[in-house]
Amino acid sequence: MNLPSFLWLWRIAAWSMGLTLTGYGLLAITGGVLFYTRSKDQGRSAWLRPLHIGLGTAVVALVLVLLAIGIIGTLGEYGRLGHSFHLLFGLTVVVLVLASAWSASRIAVERPWARSLHVTLNGALGIALAAAGLSGWQVVQKYLP
């Protein structure tokens, strides 16, 4: 395949990344409110937790879409993977987002470690998302006309 035919694919990647970062920001806000209402022992709106879980599920799906786009596009272009640090950063994001969703499923009163693990993993996820986004932005430059 020739170079311009991949442009639409990287365009989808850029849009998915925009939605992923938006979702991450909304998760940080809704997660922050969950934390606040719990620590103050206040009541919280019944929809807040489902909203947080729904947003989290959407972000997991978007990251898996980005993984598929990255692998398909790179294999189509070079026939093999491993061209830059973008691969390492991308895989780190995938592992962290899956670990975060798993830790979320473990959160319960009798498992206080799951809550702090969830928050720690999400802090690391923010840094990894920035690294994958910036390095992706860098490698996409050579596909632009």
**Positions that interact with ligand HEM (CB under 6 A):** 10, 13-14, 17, 24, 27-28, 31-32, 34-35, 38, 49, 52-53, 56, 59-60, 63, 66-67, 70-71, 73-74, 81-84, 86-87, 90, 93-94, 97, 100-101, 104, 107, 115, 118-119, 122, 125, 132-133, 136-137, 139-140, 143
Rounded Cα gap, residues 55 and 75, in angstroms: 30
Q: Minimum distance between the CB of residue 3 and ligand HEM, rounded to whole angstroms?
A: 10
Choice between 81 and 127, CB closer to ligand HEM: 81
Q: How far is the CB of 142 from ligand HEM (least distance, A)?
A: 7
Q: How far is the CB of 114 from ligand HEM (least distance, A)?
A: 9
In order of 27, 31, 80, 85, the CA distances from 123 in angstroms are 12, 12, 31, 20
Torsion of the alpha carbons at 133, 139, 141 and 145, rounded to the nearest 10: -130
Task: Give the residue nearest to ligand HEM (CB).
Answer: 70
Nearer to ligand HEM, 22 or 60 (CB): 60
Cβ partners under 8 Å of residue 114, min gap 6: 103, 104, 106, 107, 108
